[in-house]
Amino acid sequence: MTPGRREFRLAAVAATLNALVLLGALMLLPAAPIPKVDRVLRGTPSGQAPSPAVTTGGVRPGPREGTIRVPLADRLPRRFPADGTPAGWELREFSGRASIQLHRSEVGLALRLQSEQGSFVLHRDVIVDLAERPYLAWSWKVIRLPAAGDVRQRARDDQAGQVYVIFPRWPAPLARSDVIGYVWDSRAPVGTAVTSPKAANVKVIVVESGPARLGAWQHLQRNVLEDYTRLFGQPPPRVGKIALMIDANDTRSDAEAWIADLGFSRTRSKSAEIPTSMLR
């Protein structure tokens, strides 16, 4: 590796670490409201138009043509469920001890994240040009919500399901990375969006709320390009990392979420509800 490329790589790592620290700090900062955004699209996956993928860190295009799949594990374990951080991901614990399991579920491979008054994040590299693939889709199922968690309140800022898209900026650490988070909140209405007054580059959007859909798999999709442009007022840089987080430390309660089927695609999936009777 040439000196120039080595310096670029070190800058990228530093920028990403700064973003992950911000995710932890976000749990400790008061939230300020910003304008509401559109409700999330719920639908089933559909075929996508083929196109070359730009990926890194073991991320490759999947069976859905033109989709950059984000693997839940680069190597499958011999037995399921498998405890611990899956191959290809990195773990950062902010408080308490992480509980992570890789399962074979009704929707395929799924990560089970559990928090007992703790907070942790899993993250991995994935480079995506949102001009080519603006849509992020994923499936999740929440079993337990943090008691009275509310993204709008500093003292109760806990969520079970959290998916973050990180946009590293260089040079680092002079410029902080931008972050967009999509969360399942206990109380805040769907469409609520908040930002940290001390970290204006971290935005969080509530895409599911309350206990009505607990225990049932939901398929969600966001146009990250549109979300970024609306929230930051400019076109986005390339995506550099994706992160999955759970926390229940502020409310001193418990939370559990399952996450599966992450991927970036060129086109929107058809809107259709997943039959919950088949997925319970």
Confidence of residue 113 (pLDDT cuts 50, 70, 90): very high
Question: Which band of pLDDT confidence, cut at 50, 70 and 90, is reported for residue 200?
Answer: confident
Q: Which of 137, 241, 215, 146 is nearest to 185 (CA)?
A: 146
Contact 148, 124 (CB under 8 A): no
Express as a percent the part of the chain with pLDDT over 90.
Answer: 63
14 vs 83, more confident: 83
Q: Which of 159, 263, 272, 181 is nearest to 227 (CA)?
A: 181
1-51 residue pLDDT tens: 555 544 444 344 444 445 555 555 443 333 333 333 333 333 333 333 322
Whether the predicted pLDDT of 71 surpasses 80 = yes
Which architecture, in CATH terms, is 3-279? Sandwich (2.60)
The whole-number average pLDDT for the span 185-202 is: 87
Please say whether the beta carbons of 66 and 133 come within 8 A: yes
User: Above 90 in pLDDT, residue 56?
Assistant: no
Q: Residue 274 above 50 pLDDT?
A: no
Domain locations in the chain?
A: 3-279
